[in-house]
Structure formats: structure tokens, C-alpha cells
């Protein structure tokens, strides 16, 4: 399948904007944020296109996707949208990879619609909002240099008042040092270059900043997830801790945990070769030959 310029897909009450690259086993990619879009992955995962049909999604109300009623801008609905998108695309089997907030969506889908995805990949996520906030607070308190700590703190305070797409882009730029293991990493500039073109959604950022960024609480339901799940974490992640990843993996019946020892929160950018190798091994082992454990589609 040639590179796609992107198109809208009708999922019922709204349309989701997607970009497709590569061919093979479908892999639905869920970006972080909320308030960002599919550009977050840049071209970092494109090498998987020789075996996977990469489906990069702007989640509901994000990016170029539709803006349905605000009442539907929820973690639960974002999770349901994954199955609705798969149905609209005619995918009987597919894998899901979510990073950061996208990992919350992937986990929520796994517990709400067990087996709907044949494989789930949770990249830098948590199963409980309490774990998220306590870890961030502790890490921010010791984050150095001090000037960057103040920069990040002020940028988070501004999320609740973001008004434009440019505001969202600027806040992300200010926060990136916190999300890389090395806050002075020269690859931060490379990441910004490779992810250019993002269409930020300030109204989504404002809503989720005021509401605990989705309020995920799924730890007590992970035991009912039948499909294989790959849990990925960065050893120096200041947002989603390794302990949180270990807790997720311990509760899942079919989990594999991989920790990137030289990464913070942006594992796919900080250790790209290793990230791709781990994904490829998991998808080849569990993808085309993996067993479908439940219904192919989430209920409408």
C-alpha cells in the first residue's frame, strides 16, 4: 500500500482522520496527548511497513478528525472508537499500539472489549491515574536543571487556558525536556523536526487537563484481557513509571514486559532501533500467526 495523504473514515457519530502506510497485519496507532495528533509518531515506526499496515489515527476531536459533542470526548469513547474504526475499515483482525495517553486508550479498549484486538501494545502507560499523578509530582520535584523545572511547571499550568493549535505546539515544545531521559538531549530537536505538521486541539487539551487526563482506572480488570499484550516502559520515564508498567504486566494473563534502559517517556524516539526490533518480534510472533481470542469487532 503506497503512503497515504490521509482521509476521513465515518465511524457513526463522527469521522476519524487516518493516514495509512505499509502493508500486512493492520496495526492501529494511537497518539498521546490528549490534544495532539498522529504526527506524534512522525516517521519513527515507518520501518514496520514492510510487514504491517500502519494506521495512524487522529483520535476523536483531535487533529483533523471530527468534533462531535463534547460529552463524547472521553477515554471510554476513544477506546470504543478503535473497534468502530476497525469495523469501518473492514478489519477482522488487527493489533493496537498506544503511546502515553494512547496507551490509556489501548488499555481501556482491552478491558472494555476483551479480544477485540488480536494484540495490544501499551507504550509508556499506566493502569491508574493515581499512579500517574504521584509519579509525575515526585519526578518534577527533583527535575533539573531548575530553569527547565520551572519551564515545565508553568507550561502545565497553561494547558487549562490553551486557545490555539499554536499554543498546543508551544506547550509540547516546552515539556519535551521532561519527557526525554536526558532533558538536554540533542534528539529533542530531531523529534520536533520529524513530527512537524501537528494540528493541536486546544479545546481537548483544556478539557482533559481539568479532568485528570482521562481518569484511567483499569487495574482490577486486567485479568480479563485474553489477547497477548506487550508492555513497554522507559527506565527514566518521569511520567509513566517502570513500576506502573510492571504492575500492568503482572495483572495481565498474557503479558510481556520490555524496559528501555536508556529512555525516558519518548522510547520510540530515544531508542528507535530497539523499539522497532521489540515490536517486530512481538508482532511477527503474535500477529499473523496469533490466535483471535474474542470478537473481531467492538459492539456498535
**What single string gives the DSSP state of each residue in the chain?**
------EEEE-SSSEEEEEEES-SEEEEEE--TTT--GGGGTTTTGGGGGTEEEEEEE-TTSTTS----GGG-SHHHHHHHHHHHHHHHT-SS-EEEEETHHHHHHHHHHHHSTTSSSEEEEES--SBHHHHHHHHHHHHHT-SSHHHHHHHHHHHHHGGG--SHHHHHHHHHHHHHHHSSSTT-THHHHHHHHTTT----HHHHHHHHTTGGG--B-GGGGGG--S-EEEEEETT-SSS-HHHHHHHHHHSTTEEEEEETT-SS-HHHHTHHHHHHHHHHHHHHHTTTPPP-S-SS---
Q: What is the pLDDT of residue 213?
A: 74
2-40, pLDDT tens digit by residue?
445 899 999 999 999 999 999 999 999 999 999 999 999
67-99, pLDDT tens digit by residue?
999 999 999 999 999 999 999 999 999 999 999
Neighbours of 284 (CB within 10 A): 15
Read off φ and ψ for residue 48, nearest 5 degrees: -75, -10
Mean pLDDT of 142-150: 97
The Cα-based distances of 154 to 75, 103, 140, 149, 161 in angstroms read 26, 25, 12, 9, 12
Q: Partners of 20 in the beta sheet?
A: 55
Q: What is the pLDDT of residue 287?
A: 52
Q: What is the pLDDT of residue 298?
A: 38
Q: Which three cell numbers stand for residue 213?
A: 487526563
What CA–CA distance (Å, rounded) separates 18 from 25?
Answer: 16
> Where do the domains of the chain lie?
7-286
pTM, to two decimals: 0.93
CATH 3.40.50.2300, applies to 7-286: no
Q: Count CA atoms closer than 13 A to 285's CA, side-chain side.
A: 11
246-291, pLDDT tens digit by residue?
999 999 999 999 999 999 999 999 999 999 999 999 998 865 434 3
Amino acid at each position: 500500500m503506497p503512503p497515504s495523504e490521509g482521509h476521513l473514515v465515518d465511524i457513526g457519530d463522527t469521522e476519524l482522520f487516518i493516514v495509512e502506510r505499509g502493508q500486512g497485519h493492520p496495526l492501529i496507532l494511537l497518539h498521546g496527548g490528549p490534544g495532539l495528533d498522529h504526527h506524534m509518531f512522525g516517521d519513527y515506526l515507518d520501518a514496520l511497513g514492510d510487514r504491517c499496515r500502519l494506521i495512524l489515527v487522529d483520535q476523536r476531536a483531535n487533529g483533523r478528525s471530527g468534533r462531535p459533542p463534547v460529552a463524547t470526548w472521553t477515554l471510554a469513547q476513544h477506546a470504543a472508537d478503535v473497534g468502530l474504526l476497525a469495523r469501518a475499515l473492514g478489519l477482522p483482525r488487527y493489533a493496537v499500539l498506544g503511546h502515553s495517553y494512547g496507551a490509556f486508550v489501548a488499555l481501556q479498549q482491552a478491558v472494555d472489549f476483551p479480544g477485540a484486538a488480536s494484540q495490544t501494545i501499551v507504550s509508556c502507560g499506566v493502569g491508574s491515574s493515581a499512579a500517574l499523578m504521584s509519579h509525575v509530582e515526585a519526578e518534577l520535584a527533583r527535575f533539573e536543571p531548575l530553569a527547565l523545572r520551572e519551564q515545565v511547571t508553568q507550561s502545565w499550568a497553561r494547558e487549562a487556558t490553551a486557545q490555539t493549535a499554536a499554543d498546543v505546539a508551544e506547550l509540547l515544545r516546552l515539556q519535551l525536556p521532561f519527557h526525554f531521559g536526558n532533558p538536554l538531549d540533542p534528539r529533542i530537536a530531531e523529534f520536533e523536526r520529524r513530527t512537524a505538521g501537528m494540528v493541536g486541539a486546544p479545546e481537548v487539551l483544556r478539557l482533559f487537563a481539568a479532568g485528570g487526563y482521562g481518569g484511567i482506572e483499569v487495574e482490577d480488570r486486567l485479568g480479563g484481557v485474553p489477547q497477548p499484550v506487550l508492555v513497554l516502559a522507559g527506565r527514566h520515564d518521569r511520567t509513566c513509571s517502570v513500576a506502573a508498567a510492571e504492575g500492568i504486566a503482572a495483572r495481565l494473563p498474557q503479558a510481556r514486559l520490555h524496559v528501555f534502559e536508556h529512555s525516558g517517556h519518548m522510547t520510540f524516539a530515544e531508542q528507535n532501533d530497539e523499539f522497532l526490533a521489540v515490536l517486530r518480534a512481538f508482532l511477527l510472533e503474535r500477529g499473523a500467526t496469533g490466535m483471535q481470542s474474542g470478537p473481531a469487532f467492538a459492539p456498535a
